[in-house]
A and B are shown apart, each in its own frame.
Chain A
Amino acid sequence: DQQVKQNSPSLSVQEGRISILNCDYTNSMFDYFLWYKKYPAEGPTFLISISSIKDKNEDGRFTVFLNKSAKHLSLHIVPSQPGDSAVYFCAASEGGRTSGTYKYIFGTGTRLKVLA
């Protein structure tokens, strides 16, 4: 059972335009969501996160939106740059605040290609 889903395996966007990566989840107990970026032959790199008590978090060109009623989150990259070309993973965790155990469940990733 895939609790975190990224239904778009790939996305191509023109340089300077907005990239929107989507993620859906099924577990309403998830209380923290994260986005990671992964280049080939490297480990995933943390990008941005959002708590379930918020609906938006912004960090420079990156903004994450959370819609709890729809169990959906999205990552917006504006403006997109060729260096943003990578695989983006959405992840979710639950129970960390109470148990101290942050178990991260990852989606399958979306390969973003930013065209120059």
Chain B
Amino acid sequence: DSGVTQTPKHLITATGQRVTLRCSPRSGDLSVYWYQQSLDQGLQFLIQYYNGEERAKGNILERFSAQQFPDLHSELNLSSLELGDSALYFCASRSPGSSTEAFFGQGTRLTVV
């Protein structure tokens, strides 16, 4: 158990809809990362937050947005969903210390039908 919690584990929704994925980082971790893994693809970096502020942005679509709340949990909002958005979405967190590795949650599998 990495200590990073993602909900829900599975989500099935229709095209055009909007969903929210939730992530609770490890206790004490200030950084939260979101990644997308499409079928047989690598992990594509979407966005990073640090203590409530956006720190880095990757290949995140304009239809997608995220935020990190004062209690440090984060939400990834996906809107106007398309079939191609079907993927595994991972959240990871990292501690503010010298350690540089991030710890991943188990992911949310999104299926758009």
Contacts and interface: CB of A to CB of B under 8 A. Distances in A.
A89 B44 CA distance: 12
Interface in A79-94: 89, 91, 93
B101 interface: yes
B61 to A, nearest CB: 18
Contacts of A71: none
Interface string B92-113: 1010100011111111000000
B50 interface: yes
Contact of B43 (A45, A101, A106): A106
Contact of B33 (A89, A100, A104, A107): A104
B2 A43 contact: yes
A43 B56 contact: no
Interface residues of A, number: 27
Interface in A38-60: 41-46, 49
A40 to B, nearest CB: 11
B98 to A, nearest CB: 9
A32 B42 CA distance: 18
B42 A107 contact: yes
Contacts of B41: 108
A96 B107 contact: no
Among B42, B90, B104, chain A packs the most CB atoms within 10 A around the CB of: B42
Contacts of B101: 34, 46, 49
Given A89-B42, A106-B42, A43 B107 contact: yes
A106 B48 CA distance: 15
Contact of B104 (A45, A103, A105, A109): A45
A102 B44 CA distance: 14
Contacts of B104: 36, 43-45
22 contacts: A36-B104, A43-B105, A43-B107, A46-B102, A46-B103, A49-B100, A49-B101, A89-B43, A93-B100, A96-B100, A99-B55, A100-B96, A101-B56, A102-B31, A102-B94, A104-B92, A105-B45, A106-B35, A106-B45, A107-B42, A108-B40, A108-B42
